[in-house]
Chain A
Amino acid sequence: MRRITLRIGELLAVLLVVSFGVFAMVTLMPGDPAVAILGEGHPKHEYAELRDQMGLNDPLLTRYWDWLSGAVRGDLGTSLVPPQGDVTERILGALPVSVELAVLGLLIALVLAIPLALWSAAHAGGTIDRMISATMFATLSIPSFLAGLLLIMIFANGLGWFPRAQWVRLSESIPGNVHHALLPAIVIAMMELALFTRILRNDLIVTLSEDYILAARAKGMPPWRIMIGDALRPSSFSLVTLMGISLGRLIGSTVIVEYLFALPGMGSMIVTSANQGDFPLVQGAVLVIALVYVVVNAGIDLSYGYLDPRTRRVHA
């Protein structure tokens, strides 16, 4: 229990530093946000009024406090660029799209990685294992924007199997939604698939050399039962760790894929608003993404004790 409290304290400290960093971005921006809103050649009194209204004349810490207390209550301010809207509302509209893409990508990667890794580990050193390993290593070297463009070139433009630059919400039509989300999710899944397969294969090979596997073999259990029943679970811890680490990359590739397919998620929102200098939106989006990222990682961290009883004592 004490460990959890400590962890949460640390988490809050980290989030505080992140939020200050995110907030301080504005003061580092070139130019004056008030000028950015009014445009050049604005009347003087309007300018002063707006600065006052935006609180730009207050000291930095006061402004930070105002922003943070607003953020905690769920008010992240208003966007500067049309369609000007409530930042919180726009983030809430975009978040489900990104989460769906990321989760779908992760699922595809896992569903393909586990059988591939099982097969590879069971036939380690064979031709097919070597081919799988080489393909995975090569896949790791394809940046997701490149993979995305190539897949679009082949499957969306060439063969016309998938639509592009359209989105159907999950609530409107489930098959339509999957049809639109599948190709982007495959792009997201590629890199993760390569990593997961590599890690799981290596761990499985280590596990397979343990004595209890030999015992199970000697008893005459069928190989597939040994692989799935005995070897898979103890080999999956690095995979869980890796999923925590790769979450950052997963978010990164989701951003790129959304931009590439012009999907209405957090990624395309953050890229467009960064291009337009719409800082309240960028701030809000970065804060929300960091929050999700930190909380999920902390959850994974705490889940080790649950998954592997051996780690409980070490940390105490």
Chain B
Amino acid sequence: MPSDKFRADKTKRTRTLVLGGAMLVVGLALMVFGWSTPTLVLAAKAVLVLGGVALVFQGISRLVVAIRGKRIDLLFTLAMIWLVGLCIVALLAPLLPLGEHNDVAKTLLEPTNMSPKLLTDHPLGTNNQGLDMLSRSIHGARTSLMISLLAVSIGTVVGGSIGVIAGYFRKGTDSVIGIFTNAVLAVPPLILLIALSTFLDPSLRNMAFALSLLTIPSMVRLARANTIAFAQREFVMAARLMGANRFRVMARELVPNVILPVFSMAVVMISALIVAEASLSFLGLGIQQPDPTWGNMVAEGEGGAMEDYPHIVLVPGAFLFLTVFAFNLLGEKAQQRWDTRSAKL
């Protein structure tokens, strides 16, 4: 009997393997056909490519099941590969053999508004000034990631410490901090950014500072709520009875416990910050041309360009979507793992 079961298992496995492989091949064929057939309408192309992607996805996950014998979270794995890859490429951008990303003087001889053609000098095409879209997207990733990560770090450190202080001291300190955090929260995030942009130069440093201001109030609230909960626990009482002063209690007993939910919140916020930065740049209030960010690249497609050359919008749009999506997945995972309370909401 067991050998029978084993055999059944094996044939099932082979079948999954074959099916998965077939799906992968057909999916890839659909994608390539959809992408490279010039006579198709855009909508039909999109349907073919999307269907191909779905098939490839299913095919790969079947292959993995057949080979390794257990399921993996393929979407999450792919998202992490994308993020890690993007970070590495963004970090190394100046060293990579990429096309020109912001110096118009060097692209006078390059084709303008060229559609994406893989296996050429401009795999993702060029914009209306002949600048290379791939290079611009990668440099945009550099700016975007740098600003968001900087902002979220500032927000976590500053907001987290203020929150712990407010939650531990309570009383007057808490009320004053509460009024200030509520005042910042009383202005909708994008409006606050627009207001700040009227007097801040749109440099990388200022953008990070302005965005960190958005994260501080929520961080304060989260750290405060967690501190209040932990401050009543026995180990804090024990530390105090053993003669630890207030700052030691905060630094050694409270912060290590509060840091996990705060950290998971930080991961969740990154994607919101990337969107905020992109929105501001799209409105023309963020990083200015010719320096590329995904937001101002999408804005180039406005006013007629995107009807004739959809790739001007679609290329940076795809980068933005994939990155935000990957960070959202990561944030979801982080919250499920480290902050069960708010994950339930």
**Which of these binds chain B: A116-124, A143-151, A168-176, A211-219?**
A143-151
B194 contacts chain A at the CB level, 8 A cutoff: yes
User: A interface, how many residues as a size bin?
Assistant: 35 or more
Q: Which residues of chain B are within 8 angstroms of A10 by Cβ–Cβ distance? A: 179, 182
Please tell me if the beta carbons of A15 and B186 are within 8 angstroms of each other in the complex.
yes
Please tell me if the beta carbons of B325 and A14 are within 8 angstroms of each other in the complex.
no
Type the 1/0 row for B180-223, where 1 means its CB is closer than 8 Å to any CB of A.
10110111111100110111010000000000000000000000
Please tell me if the beta carbons of B191 and A289 are within 8 angstroms of each other in the complex.
yes
Please tell me if the beta carbons of B195 and A238 are within 8 angstroms of each other in the complex.
no
Q: Which residues of chain B are within 8 angstroms of A146 by Cβ–Cβ distance? A: 298, 313, 317, 320-321
Q: Which residues of chain A are within 8 angstroms of B301 by Cβ–Cβ distance? A: 149
Q: Which residues of chain A are within 8 angstroms of B275 by Cβ–Cβ distance? A: 143
CB-CB under 8 A for A14 and B285, given A149-B301, A150-B317, A157-B307: no
Output the nearest chain A residue to B183 by Cβ-Cβ distance: A17
Output the nearest chain A residue to B323 by Cβ-Cβ distance: A141
Q: Which residues of chain B are within 8 angstroms of A286 by Cβ–Cβ distance? A: 187, 191, 194-195
Interface core residue of A29, A145, A275, A279 (most chain B CB under 10 Å): A145
| Whole-angstrom distance between the Cβ of A295 and the nearest chain B Cβ | 10
B58 contacts chain A at the CB level, 8 A cutoff: no
B109 contacts chain A at the CB level, 8 A cutoff: no
| Whole-angstrom distance between the Cβ of A83 and the nearest chain B Cβ | 19
Q: Which residues of chain B are within 8 angstroms of A279 by Cβ–Cβ distance? A: 198
Q: Which residues of chain A are within 8 angstroms of B325 by Cβ–Cβ distance? A: 137-138, 141
Interface core residue of B187, B307, B320 (most chain A CB under 10 Å): B187
Report the bound CA distance from A13 to B180 in whole Å: 9
Report the bound CA distance from A25 to B345 in whole Å: 36
Please tell me if the beta carbons of A14 and B182 are within 8 angstroms of each other in the complex.
yes
| Whole-angstrom distance between the Cβ of A161 and the nearest chain B Cβ | 14
| Whole-angstrom distance between the Cβ of B200 and the nearest chain A Cβ | 8
B306 contacts chain A at the CB level, 8 A cutoff: yes
CB-CB under 8 A for A141 and B302, given A21-B183, A271-B285: no
| Whole-angstrom distance between the Cβ of A31 and the nearest chain B Cβ | 10
A225 contacts chain B at the CB level, 8 A cutoff: no
A274 contacts chain B at the CB level, 8 A cutoff: yes
Please tell me if the beta carbons of B345 and A282 are within 8 angstroms of each other in the complex.
no
Output the nearest chain A residue to B313 by Cβ-Cβ distance: A149
Which residue of A150, A247, A255 is within 8 Å of B194 (Cβ)? Answer: A255
Which residue of A17, A149, A248, A259 is within 8 Å of B180 (Cβ)? Answer: A17
**Which of these binds chain A: B29-37, B256-264, B276-284?**
B276-284
CB-CB under 8 A for A141 and B271, given A149-B306, A293-B187: yes
Please tell me if the beta carbons of B345 and A199 are within 8 angstroms of each other in the complex.
yes
8 A-B pairs with least C-beta separation: A252-B190, A17-B183, A141-B325, A248-B188, A251-B188, A141-B324, A29-B199, A28-B199
The contact sample of 13 A-B pairs, CB cut-off 8 A, is: A10-B182, A15-B186, A17-B180, A18-B183, A143-B324, A145-B298, A149-B313, A247-B188, A248-B185, A251-B188, A252-B279, A256-B283, A259-B283
**Known A289-B188, A290-B187; further 7 A-B contacts with Cβ < 8 A:** A25-B198, A141-B321, A141-B325, A143-B320, A149-B301, A256-B283, A289-B187
Interface residues of A (CB under 8 A from B): 10, 13-15, 17-18, 21-22, 25, 28-30, 137-138, 140-146, 149-150, 153-154, 157-158, 199, 238, 247-249, 251-252, 255-256, 259, 270-271, 274-275, 277, 279, 282, 286, 289-290, 293-294
